[in-house]
Structure 1
Amino acid sequence: MKTFFALSALLAVTVAAPADPYHPAPYHPAPSYHDGPAYYNYGYAVHDDYSGTNFQASENSDGYGTKGEYSVLLPDGRTQTVTYTADDYTGYVADVKYDGYAKPAPYHPAPAPYHPAPYHPVPAPYHPEPTPYHPAPASYHPAPYHPAPYHPAPYNG
């Protein structure tokens, strides 16, 4: 009974305890970004004699128009250079130039003609005569079971 009273009192105190007041997170407006013209300038170049890779690119923008150039070494030995401008008035305008002369592709002789192995027809299917089934004779003959006779012990009481 004392335990019941103690648990009831504990429950009453727990339910009657005031809850912490609600504090919502402070309001932070999303940051605003200035959406003005983009000013940038970049360039890169790769020249690797081991792999034969040779290309470069550069581009700059004043916020209203973009000018750039890129070049690449083509497989035939020529260098292709593209100079371009892009703006709201003329759109994208590219000037493509090629430097050098194309080398002919190296000669590779045609592969040897294919001669498949001669055709040999498949042999006729083999259909053997079925052999009749003769089960083996049963060889297990257990000895008859004869339990020993039961003789109760005499009572000496």
Structure 2
Amino acid sequence: VLLLLAVVAVVAVAAADERPSYYGDHEDAKYKFKWLVKNDYNHYGHEEIRDGDHTQGSYFVSLPDTRKQIVTYYVDGDSGFVAEVKYEGEAHYPETYIKYNDYEPPKYDYKPLYVSE
């Protein structure tokens, strides 16, 4: 009986040591997306395509100086993130200097107050 109990205990410990594998076989990632925001105050967007280890895409944003910044990028295996940044248009800056009146503190005319008793 003790021998049977010892054998069952060894088998139970050996079977419990097998952990499930969360890193099993899986398919390579494959997707494609594109989105855009455009209204009175914003204009920007992003698109990307991925097939396994190869990813490429671009995004853009309209800058406050009226230029458009475009970033084109790719990732190919171990190359890392490689980006090229371009600008379209010419920067225009609004007049920022506004002349305000200089501050002058109020002038008080202090006069003695005589009180009769």
Q: Secondary structure at the match of 1:66?
A: strand
Matched residue pairs, number?
Answer: 89
Deviation at 1:103, TM superposition (A): 0.8
2:61 equivalent to 1:46: no
Question: C-alpha offsets along residues 116-141 of structure 1, whole Å, 9 cap, x if unaligned?
Answer: 3469xxxxxxxxxxxxxxxxxxxxxx
Q: Is there any run of 5+ residues in structure 1 with no aligned partner, and where?
A: 1-29, 120-157
Q: Which has the higher strand share?
A: 2
Q: 1:1-157 residue pairs with structure 2 within 5 A?
A: 34-48=25-39, 51-117=40-106
Deviation at 1:39, TM superposition (A): 1.0
TM-score (norm 1): 0.48
Q: Tell me the percent identity.
A: 34
Change (3 A) 1:87 1:118: farther
Whichever of the two has the greater Rg, that structure is: 1
In structure 1, give the amino acid aligned to 2:60: S
CA RMSD of aligned residues (A): 2.6
Question: C-alpha offsets along residues 17-36 of structure 1, whole Å, 9 cap, x if unaligned?
Answer: xxxxxxxxxxxxx7967544
Q: Is there any run of 5+ residues in structure 2 with no aligned partner, and where?
A: 1-19, 109-117
Task: Return the alpha-carbon distance in structure 1 between the equivalents of residues 48 and 94 of structure 2.
Answer: 33
Task: Return the alpha-carbon distance in structure 1 between the equivalents of residues 25 and 97 of structure 2.
Answer: 60
